[in-house]
Amino acid sequence: MLTIFSLDHRHSTVAEREPFVPGEAERRRLGAVTRRVALGQAALLLTCNRIALIPWLGDGRADLPRLEALVDRVLPRTGAAFLRRARRLEGAEAITHLHRVAAGLESQVCGDSQVLGQVRAAYQEALAARTIGPELHRLFQSVLGAGKRVRHETGLGRRAASVGAVAATWLLRQGARRVLLVGAGRTIEEAGRVLVGEDRVVTIVNRRGERGAELAARLGACAAGWEERHSLLGAADAAIVATSAGEPVIMAGPLRQARTSGAGAIRIVDLGVPRNVAAEVAGVPGVELTGLEAFHDSQEGLADRNAADAIVAAAAYRCGSWLALRGARRQAVA
């Protein structure tokens, strides 16, 4: 039976989610551990507003003790707490939910253009770890197929929405002209596509300088060194920060030193999970710090959402029927 343990933006805050974000070493342990529990099948899905552990439990609730052992080993710092805090979905509800996630219907910004790639990455990572068996393989193929159909056949795909793009649009409405982008992933790329314009100076800094320079060249932005981020931020009027770092990369002390007397206001948007901007930055004079939770899309495009709902519901039903039939055949053989 499919079971999903999930923390997302609908049921938790960024502060509640960030302690559970696993590091690379913890994620690598997933493969070795799940070969011995949960019928060897599990995946870990991480998005900007979601942490989801997706195991296939052959005996349903009877396998939960083994699952608890799995989580405790994969997330040794917070495993038991994660299970207690996470929302649990099972069976048909879990199948439908994962289809909706891939289609962008459960995203903070409906139709999020990044989430399908994040679901694909979770599948590929599980494949590499050899934790995908027949059931999860069929599930992810159905989920990814439905997500592609939604992108190509409905207006949600044409919107190319993302949290990065929504945050960038918000900054433009605030009159941003000198913008610093910290990071070089998809979120920053989506933001940069909105921000780069003739009357704006957009600068990208990234810990891996060559990647930041490559993105800047592609977008028509400026590139600078990682060590310059605080001085550049002191001269900017807006910034978006979104990196994969497990700790803050923008600190209050260096920013305060970089601020000149009489400097104008800075609007800093932190889209990182865990958060990339230290909380103390909000106390620097002239700084307005805004987090991920502030950005949602409008409720327009009801027809597109209904069309996406129909695609997802049909795909989830077909997938659920296949999984149920396979389970019945296994029991008959046993």
**Strand 201-205, strand 87-90: pairing:** unpaired
d(CA 329, CA 190): 46
**Strand 42-47, strand 50-55: pairing:** antiparallel
CA 21 to chain centre: 11
- Please give the DSSP secondary-structure letter assigned to residue 11: T
d(CA 186, CA 198): 22
Catalytic residue among 48, 110, 222, 319: 48
d(CA 146, CA 105): 12
Peptide bond into 274 cis (omega under 30): yes
The residues that bridge with 204 in the sheet, in sequence order, are 181, 223
d(CA 3, CA 92): 10
From the CB of residue 185, how many other CB atoms can be counted at a distance below 10 Å?
A: 17
CB-based contacts of 314, cutoff 8 Å, min separation 6: none
- Torsions phi, psi for 141 (to 5 deg): -65, -40
- Burial per residue of 187-219, b for 16 or more beta-carbon CB atoms within 10 angstroms, e otherwise: bbbbbbbbbbeeeebbbbbbeebeebbebbeeb
Smallest Cα–Cα separation from 260: which of 292, 282, 285, 223? 285
* 240 within 8 A of 184, measured Cβ to Cβ: no
d(CA 250, CA 264): 18
110 catalytically annotated: no
Residues serving a catalytic function are 48
